[in-house]
Amino acid sequence: MSFSKQYAIDAATGLIKRAAGSAALTADAYVGDQWDQGAAAATNAIAIINIESCKVSAGDETYLLTILGSQTSDRSDGEILAQMFVGDAGTIALETRDTIAGDRVEMRFRTEKNGTQFQYVDLHLDVTGTSPSIGFGAYISKEF
């Protein structure tokens, strides 16, 4: 039995985190515009990351994708809502194969943690290893 799941793509500011075909990233960075919900709210969402390239040839490259929620646009009160490691399987606990082009990462999250609702949502990338480089397209869907 085979099935596929589709998610809506909304072009509102901050929901499309990174366009497909963008240049590979090689350093830690916030990815795309910040999503401003307009007010603090508890929203169920999913981040879809479609991997286009992922350097793992040195055997030590990892890429940590983090969804952060905050009540201020400067992220000073940021809280981790979801995280996912991709990259070299030998450096990531529980992974059995390296991340390759064509992989899809789905990170479900809620813009609420421990009773605190967040207005702002960001995607952050943290890279480690020898000359890391990762290309991907990413967006957030409020429907799942």
What single-letter DSSP state applies at residue 22? P
41-73 pLDDT, tens digit per residue, is: 999 999 999 999 999 999 999 999 999 999 999
In the chain, domain spans: 16-141
* Three-class secondary structure of residue 63 per DSSP: strand
Tell me the CATH number for domain 16-141. Answer: 2.60.120.1110
- In the chain, % helix, strand, coil (3-state, to 5) comes to 0, 55, 45
3-state helix/strand/coil string of 82-135? EEEEEECHHHCCCCCCCCCCCCEEEEEEECEECCEEEEEEEEEEEEECCCCCEE
Q: Which residue has the higher pLDDT, 83 or 142?
A: 83
Round to whole Å and give the CA distance between 96 and 31. 27
Give the predicted TM-score (pTM) of the model: 0.91
Round to whole Å and give the CA distance between 119 and 15. 13
90-134 pLDDT, tens digit per residue, is: 998 888 899 999 999 999 999 999 999 999 999 999 999 999 999
Measured in degrees and rounded to the nearest 5, phi and psi for residue 89 equal -60, -30
